[in-house]
Structure 1
Amino acid sequence: EVITLNEKKLLTGSKTEKIIEVIKAWKKIGFRHFDQIAIGHADPRYQILTKLTLAIKITSFNHTIGKTWPIPSRHHTDEYVRLVNEDMNKKRPIPAFQYSPLKDNLIDTALAGSHKIITLTPGGAKNLLADDFCRRWPINNYVELAIKLINKGYIVVISGAKSDEWILPYFSGLNIVNMVGKTDLNQLLYLFSKSDFVVTHDSGPMHLAGMTKCHLIAIFGPTNPYEKIPRRKNVYFFWNHKQYSCCPCYDGKSYAKCSDNICMKEISADDILTKISSINEESADRS
């Protein structure tokens, strides 16, 4: 049973809007009996949504209900399992995620041709409460990579949510396929599944791309990729943590104050291009 709420109103709306959203949740789940409630968000405000529920057991990443923040260096998928089952000694396989996105004529038409398709997702890395610019690969690096890929004959797609339209002026005049703000989640999965490569940084789209079979190249700096990178084949990441004593600087809740994310800036477009070329060469050798 999926219950949706307006998170924008819940977290940043007026006092009245916040109360209305909480009441909506209470109407759906209030006074219902559950074997267990697992609150997968570390922000303690989410606990309010379950205040009127009756449960044998309640677990949360927030320490006030007996849990801690996700333990550093553990993969976050393991930490979510820990919320539901504390006995981590019993190894359980992670179920494969199955999705069946409908074919999309807009995407199929835009990507028609025999050239390799590379999707870049330069935005994201923010939510209603924070804009974590420090984990975004610089937009100029994405533009430089796009130009180099176009010159090599690739179809270059840029994707993102409506809120990512700020990136568009940077790609003005380039022969790219613009999908920013034009896809819902299902269409975005379909776009990634049609792409030979997806290049992005630590963000929501990275996890979505991880659900498909594309070659995923992820760029990390402030966060630890061993906690977050999708667990499947054909996933690659760049992380210059050995060069900087401040990496990683994320404690599971917030980032260190940083005005110059050099750990991201120093990963160049040529680094990514070289990786893409080597993957293509390896694939050609195998075939």
Structure 2
Amino acid sequence: MPRLLIVKLGAIGDVVMAIPGAYAMHREGYAVDWVCNTVVAPILQLYPWIHVIPVDEKALLHSGKTKGLRVMMTVWRLLAGRKYDVCATLYYDARYKLLTLPVRAPRKVMLSRTERATQLLPGRHHTDEYARILLGRKDGETPSQLAPIVVSGPAQNVLPPKGDKPRIALVPGGARNMMRDDALRRWPLESYVELAKLLLAKGCEVVLCGGMDDRWVSDAFTSLEVTNCIATMSLVQQIGAFNEIDVTVTHDTGPLHLAGITSTAVVAIFGPTDPRGRLPQRTNCVALWGGEGFACRPCYDGRDYAPCEHNGCVRQITPAMALGEVEALLVARREGRELLPRVRTPKHTPVPALVQLEGARP
């Protein structure tokens, strides 16, 4: 049996978007080993066809040379003697290539900013691009619109039993990992609070989701009758919870991609990043992309953002717009209809004035 080694430690969204490419290799007969960080390891372990090799990424990159070398040598010992047909380091940063020094493989792949064949090309979905690179396909043979691989393994739900009310999840934090805080990706906290008020007035149940680093958002919701699950669930439990959620509203952050591998419908809010490369490519997922007409949008180049103080692109999306998409998804669910994934952009109107979506209902 041919063997594939993937080195993709994190973050959550990048790992989830690389899974369909790994699955395509698995379907072609490859055994898949995956070097990942300890944070995302529980997610990958939900897929029984992936053999997970966890690494303490924080110790590897941020705990000094001595500790980092120890972690590196541990990985080398685990990989030494293993034979692979394909070794794919899905990074541009050459430091990650050091993890595979003991590996001998006829085909070794690493992302490149100069070689088209191994570059994540702009305007294409990251999921399709990872698959193209792993499969070694030419541009004309690029996989298209690969859907997320829905979790088939156990994922414990910790939410209380669902009643008759529509259950809506809000993810107001996120956009942060051990490398940095990407605050420009976040929809403003006050917009999430206003949306929560609108949903409660419509008779919905509102659940707040997020990790340990998102506790700072909780105080903004203390006066509202919401179910606050922030910092109470593991990633696997959060996946289980999303399967009990009717619609999830979030911005471009890790939980968006966790929601993508579950049954929840998704309203995703984008600004500096391009949703055409990141929105889960499955039914009942819609992106609201602010900043139409802004010369700087999208400003994220894969490494950095343009200098920005007002974050006008995401602020252009109003709570009323998000509510309208939530209601449309709830109606479709009640009627048993599946809505195709889509990206919607507001007409160019100065922020913070009310903006109307193109083609939106009056």
Q: Normalising by structure 2, what TM-score? A: 0.73
Aligned-pair CA distance for 1:5: 0.8
Any residues of structure 2 matched to 1:125-136 within 5 Å, and which?
125-136=175-186
Measured on the aligned residues, the alpha-carbon RMSD in Å equals: 2.2
Aligned residue number for residue 223 of structure 1:
273
Aligned-pair CA distance for 1:242: 2.1
Q: Are 2:230 and 1:180 aligned? A: yes
Aligned residue number for residue 99 of structure 1:
152
Moved more, 162-171 or 27-36: 27-36
Change (3 A) 1:63 1:238: closer
Aligned AA for 2:292?
K
Aligned residue number for residue 351 of structure 2:
none
Do the aligned residues in 2 keep the contact of 1:134 with 1:261 (CA within 8 Å)?
yes
Aligned-pair CA distance for 1:201: 0.5
The answer for unaligned runs of 5 or more in structure 1 is none
Do the aligned residues in 2 keep the contact of 1:33 with 1:53 (CA within 8 Å)?
yes
Q: Give me the identity figure in percent.
A: 35
Do the aligned residues in 2 keep the contact of 1:5 with 1:25 (CA within 8 Å)?
yes
Aligned residue number for residue 150 of structure 1:
200
Aligned residue number for residue 82 of structure 1:
132
Do the aligned residues in 2 keep the contact of 1:59 with 1:67 (CA within 8 Å)?
no
* Aligned pair partner of 2:307 in 250, 257, 280: 257
Change (3 A) 1:189 1:272: same
C-alpha distance after superposition, 1:30-50 (max 9, x if no partner): 353311111113332211111
Q: How many residues align?
A: 284
* Aligned pair partner of 1:276 in 316, 326, 338: 326
Q: Normalising by structure 1, what TM-score? A: 0.91
The answer for unaligned runs of 5 or more in structure 2 is 1-50, 338-362
2:180 counterpart SS class? coil
Change (3 A) 1:64 1:233: closer
Aligned residue number for residue 297 of structure 2:
247
Aligned-pair CA distance for 1:264: 0.5
Aligned-pair CA distance for 1:68: 4.8
* Aligned pair partner of 1:73 in 110, 123, 126: 123
Structure 2: how far apart are the matches of 1:112 and 1:190? 13
Change (3 A) 1:54 1:179: same
Do the aligned residues in 1 keep the contact of 2:88 with 2:108 (CA within 8 Å)?
yes
Aligned AA for 1:185?
L
2:309 counterpart SS class? coil
Aligned-pair CA distance for 1:19: 1.1
Do the aligned residues in 2 keep the contact of 1:139 with 1:167 (CA within 8 Å)?
yes
Change (3 A) 1:257 1:69: farther
Aligned AA for 2:288?
F
Structure 1: how far apart are the matches of 2:78 and 2:155? 30
Aligned residue number for residue 4 of structure 1:
54
C-alpha distance after superposition, 1:111-151 (max 9, x if no partner): 43211100011111121112111111111111111111112
Aligned-pair CA distance for 1:98: 3.6
Aligned AA for 1:128?
M
Aligned-pair CA distance for 1:249: 0.6
Larger helix proportion of the pair? 1
* Aligned pair partner of 1:195 in 218, 224, 245: 245
